[in-house]
DNA sequence: TAAAATCACTTGTATATACAAGTTATTATT
DNA sequence: AATAATAACTTGTATATACAAGTGATTTTA
């Protein structure tokens, strides 16, 4: 199934350099090739290279110093749930296992939800699912995902074990994640969290309420993520 | 005391539009003037306008749609401690009061700290301070700030009441904040937090460990922020 | 020899231009 | 009147170019 989408060249440059940092072709602490050299390498002009580097700076892969060059910082450490790509890519799929608690099913919206829903979203109802995610066999994330029930054929019958929700949305429905907003708070564990995380009542748990924006206008995903940060803390750049 | 720094025009465009969104000259839900119109308005070219808009998109002030325009999203709601500018600008200085718990003083580094320090940083020692911050008279943030003791004359004798640390660093020492990395976790309140937040022992509190990068190479600020999220949650974009 | 000036590099800012591609209103067609 | 084509907008991508400004090594000067 070819997408037919042409990949912009700044994206190619970004992805390649990112991969090279990941694979330690460009090693931590060293200087990246100069912008001019990258231009020659990728047959693009400086603004294009700079757009790619800007993204890498934002995500913490590199750091720039005027007059000196771009220093490779390496892969952002920790669990980068605050980044756009979601949990899976951030800590490496190898160490993340997913267990479905509630299979995707059509429901009415939880009215206790934090974000205001549009009338259209309320009408549609939502696809609801719950997942528990393990990092190195420890339950670390418990997440509730709600997606407006808008023209996503066969969605509820798909398998999500060890698959990224975002990947499925992109491949089968051409939905791209573009960013989002989130609330972050600390709370005590309730019965559900006690059960899944194996902690005492009131144990401090991180909660994230997220509204995720997509390439489809007025189409948002909603998720509530609970994290047990006892062993794995969240990490982010700003 | 004139800084002598020339402000880049993309910055001027960014600041002006940002201000206009804040002052509701550009109202939420409406379309921003087109990039072309902004070019005429500010006497700059499109790449310059786009650079300003990119920053506004990143911070959640606007959202762009190809073929349509840039939609004004309004001021990012909540307490945007995850953003680069710090607490003060995020919730509006009017509602934030600061109380100094420990005045800036020279100390050796807390060795229990999370980030690895360089030898140079260890030698220098650090300027240490503790602050309690109130939002609408409620104690919400308790933060410990550590700054390498590197050529910051008279720093320990300055007043920090209701002043932004970042502003002081910029105005008096020409130190600009460029970004940073942070860990986020949920933890139970200890005796100190109980005292300042007026909560029970073990009450869930958000903790942020931050390393803040500056325009001076190898000069970082370190801070540990504790947040009582019972009434005011943190907010961020990704 | 030590300090100052220069040069060659780096990234930062800005312009001018072109075309691709998505959206919306208008116009022409059926 | 409903539909299709078009035109006029919008943002997205990309090039080519120029100069400013920070860094570090080299060369010149005192």
Per-residue pLDDT of chain A (238 residues; tens, 9 = 90+): 344 568 899 999 999 999 999 899 999 999 999 999 999 999 999 999 999 999 999 878 999 999 999 999 988 665 454 543 344 444 444 467 888 899 888 888 876 567 878 777 888 888 999 999 888 889 999 999 999 887 777 888 877 665 678 778 877 777 777 777 788 899 999 999 999 999 999 999 999 988 888 877 778 889 999 999 998 888 776 6
CB environment A42-78: b (16+ within 10 A), e (fewer): bebeeebbbbbbbbbbebbbbbbeeeebbebbebbeb
**How is residue B56 written in tokens?**
């506004």
B68 touches strand C (CB under 7 A): yes
Work out the minimum CA distance from A16 to partner chain B, whole angstroms: 22
A40, containing H or E segment: helix A35-42
A34 touches strand C (CB under 7 A): yes
Tell me how far apart the alpha carbons of residues A182 and A186 are, in angstroms, rounded to a whole number. Answer: 13
Of B63, B204, B235, the CB nearest to A204: B204
Residue A174 DSSP label: -
Average pLDDT score over residue span B76-103: 59
How many angstroms is C1' of D9 away from CA of A50? 29
- How far apart, in whole angstroms, are the C-alpha atoms of residue B148 and residue B162? 22
Structure token pair of residue A156: 């509820």
> In chain A, what are the domains?
9-72 (1.10.10.10), 87-227 (3.40.1410.10)
Q: Which residues contact A45 (CB under 8 A, 6 or more apart)?
A: A39
The DSSP output letter for A211 is E
Asked if B173 and B164 touch (Cβ cutoff 8 Å), the reply is: no
Residues of A in Cβ contact (< 8 Å) with B63? 213
A188–B213 C-beta distance less than 8 A:
no
Is the minimum distance from the CB of A65 to strand D below 7 Å? yes
Which residues of chain A are within 8 Å of residue B186 when distances are taken between CB atoms? 186-187, 204-206, 227, 229
Q: Which residues of B touch A205 (CB under 8 A)?
A: 186, 204
Nearest to B211 by CA among B154, B92, B126, B153: B126
DSSP per-residue codes, chain B: ----PPPPHHHHHHHHHHHHHHTTSS-TTSBPPPHHHHHHHHT--HHHHHHHHHHHHHTTSEEEETTTEEEE--SPPSB-TTSTT-HHHHH-GGGEEEEEEEEEEEEPPPTT-SSPPPHHHHHH-EEEEEEEEEETTEEEEEEEEEEE-SS-TTGGGS--TT--HHHHHHHHH---EEEEEEEEEEEE--HHHHHHHT--TT-EEEEEEEEEEESSTT-EEEEEEEE-TTT--EEEE-
The reply to whether residue B183 touches residue A237, judged by beta carbons under 8 angstroms, is no
Q: CA torsion sign, B21 to B24 to B27 to B31? A: negative
- Positions in chain C where some atom is under 7 Å from a protein CB: 9-18, 21-24
**Strand D: which nucleotides have any atom within 7 A of a protein Cβ?**
9-18, 21-24
Q: Is the CB of A67 under 7 A from strand C?
A: yes
Give the containing element (helix H, strand E) for A42: helix A35-42
Strand D within 7 A of B48 CB: no
Q: How far is B206 from chain A (nearest CA, A)?
A: 5
Average pLDDT, chain B: 83
Q: How far is A126 from chain B (nearest CA, A)?
A: 23
Strand C atom within 7 Å of B46 CB: yes
Asked whether the predicted pLDDT for residue B171 surpasses 80, the reply is no
Give contacts of B197 with chain A, Cβ < 8 Å: none
pLDDT over 80 (residue B193): yes
pLDDT value of residue A154: 81
- Asked if strand D comes closer than 7 Å to A47 Cβ, the answer is yes
Asked if ipTM goes beyond 0.85, one says no
Cα of A27 to nearest chain B Cα, Å: 18
- Look at residue B166 and tell me whether its pLDDT is greater than 60: yes
Please check the confidence at residue B19 and state whether its pLDDT lies above 70: yes
Which chain B residues are closer than 8 Å to A238 by Cβ?
Answer: 82-84, 179-182, 236
Cα–Cα distance, A178 to B76 (Å, whole number)? 17
Answer yes or no: are the C-beta atoms of A19 and A5 closer than 8 Å.
no
Mutation to test the B interface, candidates A185, A209, A234, most B Cβ within 10 Å: A185
Residue A113: predicted pLDDT:
67
Q: Considering only CA atoms, which of B154, B151, B134, B156 is closest in space to residue B143?
A: B134
| Interchain pair A229, B184: CB under 8 A | yes
Q: What is the pLDDT of residue B118?
A: 78
A118 has which bridge partners? none
Gap between the Cα atoms of A131 and A102, Å rounded: 7
Q: How many CB atoms lie within 10 A of CB B173?
A: 15
B47 touches strand D (CB under 7 A): yes
CB pair distance less than 8 Å for A183 and B78: yes
User: To probe the interface with B, which of A50, A184, A190, A202 has the most B CB atoms within 10 Å?
Assistant: A184
pLDDT band at B162 (very low <50, low <70, confident <90, very high): low
The whole-angstrom separation of Cα A87 and Cα A92 is 8
Task: Give yes or no for residue B8 having a pLDDT over 70.
Answer: yes
B29 sits in the region (left: phi over 0; alpha: psi -120 to 50; else beta) called left
Average of pLDDT values for B174-201?
89
Q: How far apart are CA A235 and CA A133, in angstroms?
A: 17
């Amino acid at each position: 199934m070819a997408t037919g989408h042409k990949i912009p060249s700044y994206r190619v440059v970004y992805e390649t350099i990112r991969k090279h940092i990941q694979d330690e072709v460009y090693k931590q602490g060293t200087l990246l090739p100069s912008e001019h050299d990258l231009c020659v390498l990728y047959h693009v002009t400086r603004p294009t290279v700079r757009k790619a580097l800007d993204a890498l700076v934002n995500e913490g892969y590199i750091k720039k110093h005027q007059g000196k060059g771009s220093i490779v910082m390496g892969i952002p450490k920790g669990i980068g749930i605050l980044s756009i790509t979601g949990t899976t890519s951030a800590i490496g799929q190898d160490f993340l296992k997913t267990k479905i608690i509630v299979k995707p099913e059509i429901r009415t919206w939880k009215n206790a939800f934090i974000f205001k829903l549009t009338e259209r979203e309320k009408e549609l109802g939502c696809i609801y699912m719950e997942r528990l995610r393990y990092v190195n066999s420890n339950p670390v994330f418990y997440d509730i995902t709600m997606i407006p029930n808008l023209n996503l054929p066969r969605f509820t019958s798909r398998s999500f074990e060890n698959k990224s929700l975002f990947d499925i949305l992109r491949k089968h429905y051409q939905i791209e994640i573009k960013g989002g907003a989130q609330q972050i708070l600390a709370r005590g564990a309730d019965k559900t969290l006690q059960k899944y995380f194996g902690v005492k009542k009131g144990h401090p748990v991180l909660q994230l309420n997220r509204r995720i924006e997509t390439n489809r206008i007025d189409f948002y995903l909603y998720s509530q993520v609970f994290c047990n940060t006892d062993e794995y803390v969240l990490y982010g750049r700003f």
